[in-house]
């Protein structure tokens, strides 16, 4: 049921209740008419979806992999797209991912019955070897799956089927680990992922078997970060953890005044992340001591980028900040036309960021001076991805744009709404 339907239904209910105070002759008729309209809205509204996802890209062998907003996993070839070849071309495919049965499907007199629904992907996939790893949201019914990136399986009728070597976790069809929002990370042969069931899972990346799990005791909507055999993860209960990547044992944990909003990034010995009380934290990765904090005017939602001794952080207060990684001192700031939701990227000495309203900014990374802007024209919430001079953008109009950072030219675009 969409927010719009719910609000409209509520509005009518309120008017109806208020109208109940009148005893005018037409009151009963009015009530009945309103009730019928509300019933219609509720029935229509139940089938609606309230989440769409905002997956970023991963690249392997020149192919981009990402989760589409309609629950499909797509592989696209930038070279084929720039030549405007028909889809699918070499290395390209589309694979619909269905979530297990979950509440929130169709509604009937006894409530909303379970039904299969698009999986919805917020997390950025990871490609390693012949597999691409995808974690799904799907309300409360998320799973982790490994798909053969060279030949995803289809049966004779074109319906996806599982190939040798592909796996999903949990293995039982109707089991789930809860909604996954933050992306998985693969290091060597282990995949690490945090889920809204409050646990961090370490899985065998080849076979999908569970190696260990660590219960943080609160919902996880961020990605883990890994360095030197330590997994850094936060939950929505104001906690930040360092866990051994070998066996999932706790190394240290800290409690913060507010919950962590962004996925962490590790640089040197330090871990950087934003919180819901508008702070950006630098924490010593070895013991959890807070080195410094920097206050913005809204949440630091996107994952910061670190290069050398500078932390670049996009904020929902419409600004991008460049901070000294050692002290937290502000080096420069740039004000965009809207909140910064997407992770920024560095291309040589340029910092590329995009506002939620769809304006892309190319900035000098050492001064924050604006080099150029590129109007995407549609809202952008997915992380940016850069490869050589190209930056790839996944916009809310269900299109992908390849943009040359040096010229600011939109080299190609690819819209996937009509792909079957």
Partner 1 sequence: MAELWNTIILEPVLNSLIAMCTVFGGNFGLAIIVLTVVVRLILFPLTVRQTQSTKAMQSLQPKMQELQKKYAKNQQKLQQEMMKLYKEAGINPLGCLWPMLIQLPIWIALYQSIMQALAATPENLLNLSQHLYSWAAVGQAVPLNEHFLWLRLSRPDPNLILAILVGGTMWVQQKMVTPPTADPRQRSMTSMTTMMMPLMFGFFTLSFPSGLALYWVVSNILGIIIQYFVSGGWGYLRAPSAPKPTPAQKPMPTQKIPPPAVQPSKTAQKAIEESKAIKKASEEKKRGLFGR
Q: By the criterion CB under 8 A, which residues form the site for partner 1?
A: 1, 3, 6-7, 9-11, 13-16, 18, 20-23, 25, 27-29, 31-32, 35, 38-39, 42, 45-46, 50-52, 54, 103, 107, 109-112, 122, 137, 181, 219, 221, 236, 238, 257-259, 275-278, 297-299, 301, 316, 339, 341, 356, 381
For residue 198, the minimal CB distance to partner 1 (Å) is 12
C-beta closer to partner 1: residue 257 or 268: 257
Neighbour order of strands in the sheet with 310-314: 305-307, 310-314, 319-324, 330-335
**Can you count the helices (H) and strands (E) in the chain?**
3, 34
How far is the C-alpha of 362 from the C-alpha of 351, rounded, in Å? 6
CA–CA separation, 400 and 352 (whole Å)? 16
| Own/partner long-range contacts of 348-353 (Cβ < 8 Å, ≥24 apart) | 350/405, 351/305, 351/312, 351/320, 351/322, 352/384, 352/386, 352/391, 352/405, 353/314, 353/320, 353/384
Residue number with CB closer to partner 1 (236 or 292): 236
Give me the least distance between CB of 339 and partner 1, in Å please.
7
Q: For the chain, give the number of residues.
A: 420
Cβ proximity to partner 1: between 315 and 350 the closer is 315
Cβ neighbourhood burial of 411 (10 Å; 0-12, 13-18, 19+): middle
204: exposed, middle or buried (Cβ count in 10 Å: 0-12, 13-18, 19+) = middle
393 in helix, strand or coil?
strand
Q: How far is residue 143's CA from residue 101's CA, in Å, rounded to a whole number?
A: 12
Token reading at 81: 């797209």
CB of 341 or CB of 351, closer to partner 1:
341
Q: 385: which strand partners?
A: 392
Q: Judge if the upstream peptide bond of residue 306 is cis by omega within 30 degrees of 0.
A: no
Radius of gyration of the chain (CA): 23
Is there a contact between 73 and 94 (Cβ–Cβ < 8 Å)?
Answer: yes
Is residue 347 within 8 A of residue 386, CB to CB? The reply is yes
Alpha-carbon gap, residue 23 to 29, rounded angstroms? 11
Shortest approach of partner 1 to residue 376 CB, angstroms? 18
For CA atoms 378, 73, 143, 119, give the dihedral sign.
Answer: positive
140 or 387: CB nearest partner 1: 140
Closest separation in Å from C-beta 310 to partner 1: 25
Q: Which is nearer to partner 1, 259 or 360 (CB)?
A: 259
Identify which of residues 91 and 142 has a Cβ nearer to partner 1 in the complex: 142
Minimum CB–partner distance for residue 336 and partner 1 (Å)? 14
Nearer residue to partner 1 within complex by CB, 16 or 365: 16
CB of 265 to partner 1, least distance (A): 19
Shortest approach of partner 1 to residue 77 CB, angstroms? 29
Minimum CB separation of residue 207 from partner 1 in Å reads 30
Q: Which is nearer to partner 1, 63 or 280 (CB)?
A: 280
Query: Which residue number, 29 or 171, has a Cβ lying nearer to partner 1?
Result: 29
Query: In the complex, what is the shortest distance from the CB of residue 274 to partner 1, in angstroms, rounded to a whole number?
Result: 11
Rounded-to-integer distance, Cα 133 and Cα 191, Å: 9
183 phi, psi to nearest 5 deg: -80, 160
Minimum gap (Å) between residue 181 Cβ and partner 1: 6
């Amino acid at each position: 049921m969409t927010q719009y339907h719910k609000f409209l239904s509520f509005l009518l209910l309120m008017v109806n209740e208020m109208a109940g105070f009148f005893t005018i002759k037409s009151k009963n008729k009015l009530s009945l008419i309103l009730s019928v309209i509300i019933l219609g809205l509720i029935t229509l509204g139940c089938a609606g979806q309230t989440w769409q996802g905002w997956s970023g890209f991963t690249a392997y062998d020149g192919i981009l992999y990402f989760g589409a907003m309609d629950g499909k996993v797509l592989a696209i070839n930038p070279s084929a797209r720039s030549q405007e070849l028909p889809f699918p071309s070499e290395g390209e495919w589309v694979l619909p991912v269905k979530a297990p049965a979950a509440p929130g499907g169709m509604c009937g007199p006894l409530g909303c019955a379970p039904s299969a629904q698009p999986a919805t992907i917020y997390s950025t996939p990871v490609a390693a070897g012949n597999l691409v790893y995808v974690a799904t949201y799907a309300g409360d019914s998320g799973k982790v799956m490994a798909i053969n990136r060279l030949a995803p399986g289809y049966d004779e009728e074109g319906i996806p089927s599982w190939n040798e070597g592909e796996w999903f976790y949990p293995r039982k069809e109707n089991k789930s680990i809860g909604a996954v929002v933050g992306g998985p990370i693969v290091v060597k042969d282990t995949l690490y992922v945090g889920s809204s069931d409050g646990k961090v899972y370490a899985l065998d990346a080849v076979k999908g078997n569970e190696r260990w799990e660590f219960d943080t005791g609160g919902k996880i909507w961020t990605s883990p970060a890994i360095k030197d055999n330590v997994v850094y993860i936060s939950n929505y209960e104001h906690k930040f953890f360092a866990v051994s990547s070998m066996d999932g044992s706790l190394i240290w944990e800290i409690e913060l005044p507010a919950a962590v909003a962004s996925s962490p990034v590790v640089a040197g010995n330090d871990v950087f992340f934003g919180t819901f009380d508008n702070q950006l934290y630098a924490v010593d990765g070895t013991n959890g001591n807070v080195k410094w904090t920097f206050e913005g005017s809204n949440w630091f939602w996107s994952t910061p980028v670190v290069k050398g001794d500078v932390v670049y952080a996009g904020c929902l207060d419409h600004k991008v900040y460049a901070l000294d990684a050692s002290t937290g001192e502000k080096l420069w700031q740039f004000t965009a036309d809207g909140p910064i939701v997407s992770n920024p990227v560095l291309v040589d000495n340029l910092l590329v960021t995009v506002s939620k309203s769809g304006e892309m900014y190319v900035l000098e990374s050492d001064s924050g001076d604006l080099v150029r802007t590129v109007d995407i024209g549609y809202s952008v919430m997915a992380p940016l991805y850069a490869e050589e001079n190209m930056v790839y953008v996944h916009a809310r109009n269900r299109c992908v744009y390849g943009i040359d950072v040096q010229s600011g030219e939109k080299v190609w675009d690819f819209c996937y709404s009509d792909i079957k």
